[in-house]
Amino acid sequence: MPPHFANTVSGAAIVGTYALAKGRGQAVAALLASSAALNCGIAGATFFGIREYLVQAHPEDGIHRGHLTWWDMRTHNVLDSLVSGGITGGILRAWRHGSRGGLSGLAMGAVGCTLLQYSANELGIQRVKFVSRRLGIATPGQQPVGSSEPTRPLGQRIAGLLGFKSLSDEQFIAQMKQDRDTYMKRIAELEKLQEEEKGRR
């Protein structure tokens, strides 16, 4: 089942069931479910269309690599969903509420889709662990410690995409020392100029 179709069906089912539970009647529940199906269908098609065809440059990469870790599974599509959710939320909110709602829609869409994607990934991990325990299959958690953790956290990966360079502790200390020496040299020059000006007076 395509993801956007599943999104449409689940949205309609949830809204329709909620309306029936509140005693709104079958006619009203069917109307609300149809409206929810339409809205979820538009949002889902927009989101998955942007993510699959615009944001993801190589959909076959990532989770389909040979050696997986829990980190790979937890962060699968998280960054893509953040970007796609922000774009989708901004577009749909601006469409319904004008350009002033675009920014809030972008923020809500990015946060909401990121949390949903991470939660879905976590559920997938728990399912893998459960099946692995029953079948006695080795899981990524049983791999050597060195390969179970990412070499770069998600924050550093995002910073790298934005053009920021991550420094090790040694590099950071060396940079701070270099900045300190530069400032000390500049202070000495300024003090020397100040003394020369006092001498001229």
- What is the domain extent for residue 108? 68-137
> Does residue 160 fall inside a structural domain?
no
Residue 40 sits in the same domain as residue 85? no
Residues 6+ apart with CB under 8 A from 91: 46, 102, 105
> Does residue 148 fall inside a structural domain?
no
> Does residue 149 fall inside a structural domain?
no
Q: Where are the alpha helices (DSSP H) in the chain?
A: 3-21, 26-50, 70-74, 78-97, 102-135, 145-148, 154-161, 169-200
Q: Which residue, 121, 63, 128, 53, is CA-closest to 83?
A: 53
> Does residue 150 fall inside a structural domain?
no
Domain count, the chain: 3
Residues 6+ apart with CB under 8 A from 14: 36
Give, for all 201 residues of the chain, the pLDDT tens digit.
455 556 567 667 777 787 788 787 778 778 877 877 777 777 777 777 777 777 765 544 444 455 667 788 888 888 888 888 888 888 888 877 777 778 888 888 889 888 988 898 888 888 877 777 776 655 555 544 444 444 555 555 555 544 555 666 677 677 778 878 887 888 888 888 888 877 776
